[in-house]
Amino acid sequence: MTIHNAPAKINLMLQITHKEESGFHYLQSLITFYGKGDQVEVAANNAFSLTVKGEFGKDLPIEGNLVLKAAEWLGGLYPDQSKASVILSKNLPLSSGIGGGSSDAAATIAALLDLWGIDLNYSEKINLIKASAILGADIPVCLAYHLLGQNFFWIDGTGKEGKPEALWEEDFKEIYLLLVNPGIAVSTPSIFKAYDKIYDKPIMSPTSSDQLLSFLKRTKNSLTSAARELVPEISEVLRALNQTPSCLLARMSGSGATCFGLYDNPDNCMAAGKAIKESHPKWWVMT
């Protein structure tokens, strides 16, 4: 049996430069992974199967689930290995802009590699990361988190290229994220359909972690306006985060509706989360 965490994927910024002829939007995004999230447990079995539990498990369908697709895909690459049962503890809200399904699938791949005792070299890891794009545009960066052991990645493309760039190998001053969701699922295709098509000029990724905060303050999430129109509660969440003491930045992640507040002090982050939970008890809050 092997257990892996599947952390929330946070788009610290997301800008859209153009739309490819394929229909995919070309994104530039700085991504980090939040320490808490879902959990995947795998064990050898005579067939691939999935059991879902957890706070948001009851709303997650088994048939066609990305976790099963990922397990079966990896099983096809390693046909001599055992099949496996997968237990997914779903602690992140569904369709919430924090890559829950993709992170779950990537954690399943990493857990199966451990279960099977497969030790990939660096080149093999990169090849597997690229190949995983067949499962979805967010899978490669989520898998890179597990296989490369780094926490910040730069995406410059559609995601389907499978080439996330790992950033900042030097020591990094820890930041603290407060995640807040108003309890509303958001359809990513609907957000892109409502997107105003005002494209952003390409930018360079920050070259040092010291530039992170100033870089984020110069950038944005290009999908925020469209998401606010479809889900007005997002504006309320951002307002609540901005009103907390010592909030350095408040922004929507991905296509929403989850937003994050950025803090440089764990006590301030915890206090902000407590205050928002008390004032909005129906919201989902994670510090």
Catalytically annotated residues: 9, 138
Q: Nearest-CA neighbor of 228 among 35, 97, 92?
A: 97
165-166 and 152-157 beta bridge pairing: antiparallel
25-45 and 176-181 beta bridge pairing: unpaired
Strand partners, 156: 28
Look-up of token digits 């199967």:
49
Alpha carbon 124 to chain centroid, angstroms: 23
For the chain, how many residues are written?
287
Show Cβ contacts of residue 251 under 8 Å, excluding neighbours closer than 6 positions.
Answer: 12, 13, 216, 220, 221, 224, 238, 259, 260, 262
Maximum C-alpha span of the chain: 56
Give the Cα separation of 58 and 62 in Å (integer).
10
Give the Cα separation of 208 and 184 in Å (integer).
35
